[in-house]
Amino acid sequence: MLLPSTFPRFSSLLPLLCFVSILAGVNSDEPELQLLLNLKAALQTSNTTMFDSWNNSNSVCRFNGITCNSRGSVTEMDLSNHMLSGVLPFDSICQLQSLEKLSFGFNSLYGNISNDLSNCVKLKYLDLGNNIFSGTFPDISTLTQLKYLYLNQSGFSGTFPWKSLQNMANLEVLSVGDNPFDLTPFPTEVVKLKNLKWLYMSNCTLGGKIPTGIGNLTELINLEFSDNFISGEIPSEIGKLQNLWQLEMYNNSFTGKLPYGLRNLTKLEFFDASMNNLAGNLSELRFLSNLVSLQLFENEFSGEIPPEFGEFRKLVNLSLYRNSLTGPIPQKIGSWAEFDYIDVSENFLTGLIPPDMCKQGKMHALLVLQNKLTGEIPATYSNCLSLRRFRVSNNSLSGVIPPGIWGLPNAEIIDIELNRLGGSITSDIKNAKTLAQIFASQNLLSGEIPEEISKATSLVTVDLSENQISGKIPTSMGELKQLSSLSLQSNKLFGSIPDSLGSCVSLSDINLSQNSLSEKMPPSLGFLPVLNSLNLSRNELSGEIPASFSRLRLSLFDLSNNKLAGPIPLSLSFQAYNGSLEGNSDLCTMDVDITSLKRCSVRSGNSRHFRTLLVCFSIGLVLLLLYLSLYMQQKKKENYRERSLKEESWDIKSFHVLSFTEDEILDSIKEENLIGKGGSGNVYRVTLSNGKDLAVKHIWNTDSSGRKRSRSSAPMIGKRGVKSKEFDAEVQALSSIRHVNVVKLYCSITSKDSNLLVYEYFPNGSLWDMLHTNKKMELDWETRYEIAVGAAKGLEYLHHGCERPVIHRDVKSSNILLDEFLKPRIADFGLAKIVQANVGKDSTHLVAGTHGYIAPEYGYTYKVNEKIDVYSFGVVLMELVTGKRPIEPEFGEKEDIVNWVCSKVQQENREKIVAMVDSRIADVYREEAMKVMRIAIMCTARVPAVRPTMRSVVHMLEAAEPFKLVGIVVTKDDDSAKKMQVPEAAKLPLDLKN
Ligand SMILES: *[C@@H]1O[C@H](CO)[C@@H](O)[C@H](O)[C@H]1NC(C)=O
Ligand SMILES: *[C@@H]1O[C@H](CO)[C@@H](O)[C@H](O)[C@H]1NC(C)=O
């Protein structure tokens, strides 16, 4: 027996091995039997039949998964995908003398791989991929026969033993991606493996540059190194890999142009270099006529799309969005194969939409938004029955929109807004059974809204604003039970508002302003259960305000400039809606505190009393003068904007006993202390003289920063005074909040132009940092669970424990700070309200949640209730369970974690469902984590009313405490958890833009 001298450990096993081979001559089965029984004893599986054949009355060669050679020795062991868990006993396994193939892929095996693996010297095939091992992978220099090595997504960390590869001249498959290795430069050992056919090194923390030696690997068919930190240019040597069929390098930091030589990769079918910083034009790709899928989105490519692409006979996927491409889209593109999708959005493309991309009837998505395309929408797409997403918005398209587009039976979104398209919405829309969103504003659409729109029962958003649509609002629209947002403003609609709109129970936003609607407003609108905004201004509505409207609690309520008359219902707290009743000269009030409106005469609310009129007139005059003087003052203030912070006069409002002065804070608001930037302001870290740290949020006052007001907003009297009072009240309320899981707000320091909020400081960063950034630390399930419960309690307190509920509006893992014991604190609560109070109603969009965490209704409504926080918290729970970010490339086109989870759950494949759990969570806790996932799914239900309150979330979480579940009585909430396994969120693509 010839032994490599470099391997002393092996020789120490020599006596044992000799013993084994002597026995083998006598009874070849006995010792191998014992070794395999050892293996069986070390493993657990939920497949009850898997090990049935593994017993000592059977020959090992008849064991399930075992193959022997003619001499009865085990040569192959294939136990992949058998729900195995446990620690592999390589000391036993590698005593199998003739073992050439070892396959344990797709199981839940955990623990470290012992050095004994290096004794399996005859191995040609080793697959440990898709498991949850830990620790570093051991040196395997002795495995010189290896041809196939699969270690992808197996949980290995630290440094991979790249040097081991030096002796493996036969290696054909090397798959080590999806492991959290330490950052390492692209290993040069790899480019010496001349026989490699398949190289998978995506997502394993590689840095550095691609070595030019890559050109040696001329046998390569597949080369993948996406999701790493590789920079520099793509070496031109890559052009030598003429057998390549797939080249994946997305999400790195490549710069420069596509190298000369790429044109030689004529066998290439799949090429993805998206999400890099590549520039230059695409002309090297002209010759790659076998491309099936080309993905280059989010780069800096410029120039024209090569006309040759139009001749690519196999092309089915083309995604070039977010570049700077110019010129036309080749007109024959997609006309050859079963073309699936095009996304060339957000470029500077001109010319026409290619007409034949759906020629084979398979196209799913036509996305060309935000370009400079002209001409008409080709009529061919009227017949594209497979089309789900049709988005051509923000171009210069003209002509009549082909009627059939409205009736596409599988369309989910039709987005044509911001073009010059004419024509009308046709009765074809009755066939649009899956259509959820219509965005058609700012076009030249005319004609009437057809009655048949009621048959498009999946509609959630209808935006036809700023067109020339005339006629009446069809009564049948009352049948749209999913309709949440209806925007018909700035059209030519007339007639009455149908009473049936009150049957659209999901409506949360209605904007019918700037039409010629007349007659009385239907009382039914006052009974809409989730209405958040109602704008009926600038119409010709008459009659009294229905008493039912006083039930509404809206964030936007505007009935101004109509012909409304009579007394305002006493309980209608219209003062909250500044100016919302103006321009209705016949309205009167019976409320003595309201001086801006005429008083109703006691006898007849409608009578026009001359004296009242006179009084109103004088009051109006006084107010006008007051307004003018305030306006002048305001103007003056704006001229002083460029002063430094210190020169302003500051007003400190403290709500705790403070151990610092305002000067101490103001002195520290400078660049070098900046620790964060957000939509609403910057965050600074301030170290006080006593060594204590504080976090200070500097909120800009947009009103005085020259930001444009929305075009319809009339200047409001005394706005400044009212708003800053509101701000103070808001800060006061928030600073009275005391809870262990909520960050303390110490005080606010305000000046005319900006505001500072002073908070407790937490040096450990946020949950986001721990889970997703390189500051991350391993959080075991118990810690994650404690963080979930603590954060839930903080939110519960905000929602239910304060005088009035505080809606956070931006719940996300980066707003959950962790102290030194990893106890969570909710930060930035109520900020939306503060910012809003500070800058006025026009700026509600300033704090609008964070992509990936935003509840679906937030897109449709201004005002929202606590349930938006519950939704976002559900997303945080999903992050904790899966370890994934709310938006990950792997979720596919524009999907988020909620949709991803739901699609997994719908597969009803237990194994796949449990596989969602973060591989960093120990096996024993996976079931526990799934309990929390169930709660997360409830929290992210699409319909807000169906989501649990934070109070019941806390109860449910407490019931899901790891290993304490046995014997817990099933509560009501647990019960509903079972019923609601699949929330509707999964059924509806909720992206509003892109
Ligand atoms: C269990 O293992 C047996 C033997 O390999 C296999 O035929 C069967 O499909 C497995 N059952 C499941 C549920 O995976
Ligand atoms: C990247 O690798 C990690 C393990 O390190 C895995 O959990 C994650 O799913 C991988 N990401 C993708 C996009 O495959």
Position 9, amino acid: R
**Between vectors from CA 271 to CA 268 and to CA 273, what angle results, nearest 5°?**
145
Query: With 60 as the cut, is the pLDDT of residue 102 above it?
Result: yes
Among the atoms of ligand 1, which is closest to the Cα of residue 52?
Answer: 4
- Taking CA atoms only, the protein residue closest to ligand 2 atom 3 is 178
pLDDT digits (tens, 9 = 90+) for 820-842: 888 999 988 767 666 555 544 43
Average pLDDT estimate for 148-169: 95
Q: Match 């209730």 to its residue by tokens.
A: 865
Q: Which of 43, 44, 47 to mutate to test the pocket of ligand 1 (most atoms within 8 A of CB)?
A: 47
Q: For 160-182, what is the mean pLDDT?
A: 96
202 contacts 178 by C-beta, under 8 angstroms = yes
Using pLDDT thresholds of 50, 70 and 90, give the confidence band for residue 904.
confident
653 appears as a binding residue in the annotation: no
Given a cut of 90, is residue 875 above it in pLDDT? yes
Pocket test for ligand 2, best of 154, 203, 250 (most atoms within 8 A of CB): 203
State pLDDT tens for residues 181-211. Answer: 999 999 999 999 999 999 999 999 999 999 9
Q: Mean pLDDT score of the chain, rounded to an integer?
A: 82
Please tell me the predicted confidence (pLDDT) of residue 162: 96
What CA–CA distance (Å, rounded) separates 245 from 427?
Answer: 47
**Ligand 1 geometric centre to CA of 45 (Å):** 11
Say what the pTM is.
0.63
**576-627 per-position pLDDT tens digit:** 556 788 888 888 877 666 666 777 775 443 444 444 444 445 555 655 655 6
How many angstroms separate the alpha carbon of residue 202 from the centre of ligand 2?
A: 9
Ligand nearest to the CA of 78: 1
Ligand nearest to the CA of 50: 1
pLDDT confidence bin for 908, thresholds 50/70/90: low
Q: Which of 157-161, 488-492, 536-540, 908-912 has the lowest mean pLDDT?
A: 908-912
Split at pLDDT 50, 70, 90, the class of 716 is very low
- Per cent of the chain over pLDDT 70 is 79
- Non-local (6+) Cβ contacts of 48 within 8 A are none
Lowest mean pLDDT among 209-218, 251-260, 519-528, 859-868: 859-868
CA distances for 38 relative to 54, 92, 295, angstroms: 11, 7, 49
Minimum mean pLDDT range among 238-247, 464-473, 725-734: 725-734
Q: Is 688 exposed, middle or buried (0-12, 13-18, 19+ CB in 10 A)?
A: middle
Structure tokens at 273: 């270099």
Would the pLDDT of 382 be above 60?
yes
Q: What is the pLDDT of residue 81?
A: 93
Which H, E and C letters describe 313-377, residue by residue?
CCCCEEECCCCEEEEECCCCCCCCCCCCEEECCCCEEECCCCCCCCCCCCCCEEECCCCCCCCCC
Domains of the chain: 645-760 (3.30.200.20), 767-963 (1.10.510.10)
Check residue 606 and give its pLDDT. Answer: 43
Q: Which one of the listed residues 428, 463, 810, 828 is annotated catalytic?
A: 810
Q: Could you tell me which of 760, 731, 756 has the C-alpha nearest to residue 825? A: 760
- Tell me which of 61-70, 106-115, 897-906, 908-917 is least confident: 908-917
Q: What would the mean pLDDT of 549-555 be, rounded to a whole number?
A: 77
pLDDT of residue 19: 34
863 has a pLDDT exceeding 60: no
pLDDT, average across residues 345-364:
96
Is the predicted pLDDT of residue 276 greater than 90, yes or no? yes
Active site residue 973: no
Q: What is the pLDDT of residue 274?
A: 96
Q: Which residues line ligand 2 (CB under 6 A)?
A: 178-180, 203, 227, 889-890, 919
Query: Mean pLDDT across the stretch 294-312?
Result: 97
Distance 342 CA to ligand 2 centre (A): 27
Q: Please tell me the number of the ligand nearest to residue 81's CA.
A: 1
Angle at which helices 950-959 and 972-979 pack, to 10 degrees?
Answer: 90
Q: Compute the chain's Rg from CA coordinates.
A: 34
pLDDT of residue 978 exceeding 70, the answer is no
DSSP-derived 3-state class of residue 114: coil
